[in-house]
Structure 1
Amino acid sequence: MSDPFDLHGRRALVTGAGRGLGHAIAVGLARAGADLVLLGRKGSQEQTRDEITDLGRDVRVVDLDVSDHDAIERVADEVTESVDILVNNAGVIDRADAADVTRQAWHRVVDVNLHAAFFLCQEFGRPMAERGHGKIVNVASLLSFQGGIRVAAYTASKHAVAGITKALANEWGPRGVQVNAIAPGYMATDNTTALRADPDRSRAILERIPAGRWGTAADIAGAAVFLSSAAADYVNGHVLVVDGGWLAR
């Protein structure tokens, strides 16, 4: 029996692959056999590129600020290689009391987390649907289900990411494209630096996680490989929570 997790012969595009979750996802896909296109800010993805090259996979770096939505269309035209897997990982967070959130901060978070994800799905999902196969993996959050504290824009954007994941699954599932999402729990990444630095907040979080630890970027890579592979051909419109058991409490 062939390995259903084998991604040889597939090309994956990962946004925000320079660090954290995006780096781990890109390297995980490469280890499973995929070739990569890394899409992110200029100068941020060279280390990831070098690691993938060392794994013997083909890799291309494309410089793009995903909040520049006009540029997404231009880049989609430039990436002439067939993209079989799209992982929308790029994201930002802004912490402030809801009453103090500025319009600029609100729009920045929503532009990166939601608008960019949708327009990338549109540009790269359209040819997938035309070919009759493809995988899209959006990175959602526990705050796709919960309200959070002092992260109103982030919460709104991640609720919406879960929503568009389901909407696109409904449209493109009949055309051979599976659209799913991963909802990471509390991960030891740059986005949680402030939480981990607060002893009381960090302790309260850890006490609720049955696994008893913060998640790592590597914990997300396996989920991304699964949803990108033939093993998930009958998984569509699903938000896969990887949280150490947080939501079970």
Structure 2
Amino acid sequence: MNTLSRLEQANDNAAAFWLAQARAHGWQSSTRRGWTAVRCARTPDDPHRFVVTRPYAEPAAVEEELVAVLDAWATVRFTVEDPYGGLDLGHLGADRTSVMPVMTREPGPVEGATAVLPAVSEAYGGGSLTVDEALDGDTFAQVERAVVDGFPLPNRQPWTRGGALPEQLLGDPGCRAWLGRVDGVTAGACLTFDDGRATGVYWVATLPDQRGQGVARAVLRTALAHAHPDRPATLVATSQGEPLYRTLGFTEQARTCWWTRAAVDD
């Protein structure tokens, strides 16, 4: 029996989360041996997404397969996540824009997390910080707003409901959303996606006026404790988030390279 490495589990979860978004939006997708592609189409200039999921012996062969999809989809803009670092897409007009750690956390309890929801902290700046699961459309819209304005996602600003994360995602059995509020006002959020093997953490965000007060820690700690703590957790860390993730038990498995083409020269 083949046993997936933690890195492969993280890659598979990222691909599965993009496929869930494709289903929610009604986008075209393609899954091949070793990578997954999603034809994102929120707007005509939305970058298409490619996630490499397995090691490859011949980068040129992978690049050739990617080009075939780019041509078939008439792709203008794209982002390729390559956790193995062997691709060079400069000849396609792409720039290597990010190198970020892929991190995983082993299954187990989360220190300081509460057993019931909402999780409540009374120590937040004299107010009350609560974290709960978003179970309806209105609450999920607040999660979306926190992600768009707090992560942030500049291409989705100003925030419009459903423009980045459609409510249909709540109907996917793997997707869950978590909302942090201070005295009832939205402060931060994240999403998790469980694919049966691992639980991925995505878009951990805090609104600008609430940063530096422990909102992200509270949201992530609650999500980890309530979204299948019996499975490994995975994420890709930004430089701002990496120190927090390490304190919660995440360790680096690899550094993923992101290649992005913003436009094609005339």
TM-score, normalised relative to structure 2? 0.28
* Bigger RCO (CA 8 Å, 6+ sep): 2
TM-score, normalised relative to structure 1? 0.29
Which entry has the higher C-alpha Rg, 1 or 2?
2
The structure in which a higher percent of residues are helix is 1
